[in-house]
Amino acid sequence: MNATQQTDTSCRQALWPLVADDAVDRAMNTLIPQAERLIEDLFRYPHQMERHQLTNLVAVALETESVAVVLDYVRYQIGRDSKAETWRKGQPSFGSQLLEQLEELRRRAGGLIDEAIRQYGIEPPDRQAEEERLWMLLVRRFVGSLHRSFVYYEARRKEERK
């Protein structure tokens, strides 16, 4: 590879974070409705879920770079919901659906990378690390959407009770 080709490759790889972040933004067009449906399903049942429980989930997602930590937190919440009034509510339960969707985001992160490579011809410098980074970004944005949807449905429920 000559110097010009190396420079071109370096310049293209420098664009990778922008390409990847754009792919994540576009993915939110489908992830936001998924989050809304999950919360809508929760609100179909009488439940004791409170806003702070999702606020805490968002905080966990923001303070770590590890999706495993977020998954562990959700499993903990499912485990401590002994009365099945929050994380175990519904069939299938809110918590199990959430775990499934968060795990599915890993596959989506890989797909976003594949799509960006096809579309722009740019490879990430370290595919595995980039897939982990995108997975975490998707998780953060998804749980943020869950929280916002919860606030919306909570307000609607309060208005309906008036």
In the chain, domain spans: 16-161
| Structure tokens that stand for 7 in this block | 């420079």
pLDDT digits (tens, 9 = 90+) for 34-82: 999 999 999 988 889 999 999 999 999 999 999 999 999 999 999 999 8
pLDDT digits (tens, 9 = 90+) for 88-109: 988 899 999 999 999 999 999 9
DSSP assignment of 63-117 equals S-S-HHHHHHHHHHHHHH-TTSSSTT-TTTTHHHHHHHHHHHHHHHHHHHHHHHH
| Structure tokens that stand for 114 in this block | 């594949």
Measured CA to CA, the distance from residue 12 to residue 109 in angstroms comes to 20
pLDDT band at 7, cuts 50/70/90?
Answer: low
